[in-house]
Amino acid sequence: MRCDRKTMRLYAVTDRAWVGQGTLGDQVEQALRGGVTCVQLREKSLGVPAILVEAEEIGALCRSYGVPFLINDRVEIALQCGADGVHVGQKDRAAREVRRLLGPNRILGVSARTVEQAVQAERDGADYLGVGAVFQTSTKTDAKPVSLDTVKSICEAVSIPVCAIGGINAENVSELGGLGLSGAAVVSAVFAADDIRNASRKLRELCDEAFE
């Protein structure tokens, strides 16, 4: 599965901090029903066996909705569970090495904060970029802000889709229009919502307007 601009329109990144009475799989299914276009499983604390169980469940859900399923950082887990791809940060395994391990047919996403990082990521085989934090975020308190001017410059410097991330919600996503972005990646705006399906539906409508 490859990715295009529409794939990045509303990109949901999981965080089990907001799992309540149900399961992470339940939350992801509600997000899919609401219209998210890509899902990334981000687990920094679980052991490999537990992540694999979770990945297989959520991957199956994503396939049933025709939505790409990516794993954060863990290339071996992505390969083992048959995920559609991997997202890596600047401090994770090098993008060029990840592309070699994934082969040509899986999706590779790379985080970038500068034009230089973005251009290098594309050269190394990235299919899309995640750029941020564009707004203040409680999910990654150490994330330094990236100006909207820089976001626009990154979009102009590369030919692959660019997705903004960091503090994005229904109140501010429209501010990202006109920059050349393909979409927005969200965490708490979906998974911390009381009604995940409706929150996703509203965000999808706003993203469709902002990123035409």
Catalytic residues, which ones? 42, 111, 140
In whole angstroms, how far apart are CA 119 and each of 10, 131, 156, 178? 23, 12, 10, 20
Backbone φ and ψ for 74, nearest 5 degrees, come out as -85, 85
Q: Report CA 71 to chain centroid distance, whole Å.
A: 9
Please tell me the distance from the alpha carbon of residue 104 to that of residue 198, in angstroms, as a whole number.
36
Question: Residue 89 class from Cβ within 10 Å (0-12 exposed, 13-18 middle, 19+ buried)?
Answer: middle
| Residue 40 near residue 160 (C-beta atoms within 8 A) | no
